[in-house]
């Protein structure tokens, strides 16, 4: 997990937020998706990825990420589009506290593949141990 600076150009016409693959982040971007309109108190995520690396940027509004590497849990608040959260593979994530205006953009290094998801926390913990050994 790492927070990086994301370029924003703000002028009288509004805000432009820029992420360039293989330049601002180490990987090539193959997929971009957006999460918005999350109801009050709703939580999302509850999974890890075997291989996927992603950058999450809150374009407007705010939300929180709980990140867990199997040993340490961290909570990160994203509330500024000039901050990007890099999430490596094998990190359990939960997203919560979405503001009603939150638009969360996620830049991923690969296409959608359900087989890359670990959606059971106990299986995640078991797999993390396997990766360590």
Contact residues for ligand T46, defined by CB under 6 A:
31, 33, 35, 44-45, 54, 93, 106, 112
- Known catalytic membership, residue 49: no
**Least distance from C-beta 5 to ligand T46, angstroms?**
20
**Residue in 22, 17, 14 with CA at minimum distance from that of residue 6:** 17
* Residue (81 or 93) nearer to ligand T46, CB: 93
Render the burial of 94-121: b for 16+ CB within 10 Å, e for the rest: bbebbeeebbbbbbbbbeeeeebebeee
**Least distance from C-beta 47 to ligand T46, angstroms?**
6
Q: Which of 17, 24, 44, 47 is catalytic?
A: 47
The secondary structure element, H or E, covering residue 121 is helix 121-132
* Residue (112 or 131) nearer to ligand T46, CB: 112
* Catalytic positions: 47
């Amino acid at each position: 997990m790492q927070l990086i600076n994301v370029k924003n150009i703000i002028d009288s016409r509004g805000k432009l937020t820029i992420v360039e693959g293989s330049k601002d982040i180490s990987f090539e971007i193959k997929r971009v998706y957006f999460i918005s309109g999350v109801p009050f108190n709703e939580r999302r995520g509850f999974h890890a990825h075997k291989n996927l690396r992603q950058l999450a940027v809150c374009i407007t509004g705010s939300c929180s990420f709980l990140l867990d590497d199997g040993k340490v849990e961290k909570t990160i608040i994203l509330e500024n589009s000039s901050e990007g959260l890099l999430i490596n593979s094998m990190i359990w994530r939960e997203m919560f506290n979405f503001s009603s205006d939150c638009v969360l953009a996620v830049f991923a290094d690969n296409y959608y593949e359900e087989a890359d998801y670990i959606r059971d926390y106990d299986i995640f913990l078991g797999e993390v141990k396997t990766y360590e050994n």
